[in-house]
């Protein structure tokens, strides 16, 4: 398996603003506020975090477990 990518570019669905962020490795990030329009992003239904919903790269647990296991940490710790 390849190395886990820790940076992902989040794109706001409201205004299109994109920003590259470093993803947490020990928790899911449940909320993210767009710095341009201040929309608070939340995961789409079925996704564990904002990176899986709006990022260019899925979160580290999904990368490690693979696409077939999409339940990385939805019931575990979340970063709010």
What is the rounded CA–CA span in Å between residue 50 and residue 27? 12
The verdict on residue 2 lying in a domain is: no
The verdict on residue 14 lying in a domain is: yes
The verdict on residue 61 lying in a domain is: yes
Beta bridge partners of 41: 32
Q: How many domains does the chain have?
A: 1
pLDDT tens profile 40-76? 999 999 898 999 999 999 999 888 876 555 555 544 4
pLDDT at 32: 97
The verdict on residue 1 lying in a domain is: no
The verdict on residue 47 lying in a domain is: yes
pLDDT at 63: 86
- Domain boundaries, position 37: 7-79
Beta bridge partners of 22: 7
The reported pTM is 0.79
- Both tokens assigned to 65: 């477990």
pLDDT at 14: 97
């Amino acid at each position: 398996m390849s190395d886990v990518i820790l940076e992902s570019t989040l794109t706001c669905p409201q205004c299109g603003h994109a920003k590259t962020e470093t993803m947490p490795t020990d928790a899911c990030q449940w909320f993210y506020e767009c710095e341009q329009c201040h929309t608070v992003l939340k995961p789409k239904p079925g996704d564990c975090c904002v990176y899986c919903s709006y990022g260019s790269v899925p979160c580290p647990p999904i990368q490690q477990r693979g696409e077939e296991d999409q339940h990385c940490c939805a019931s575990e710790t979340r970063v709010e």
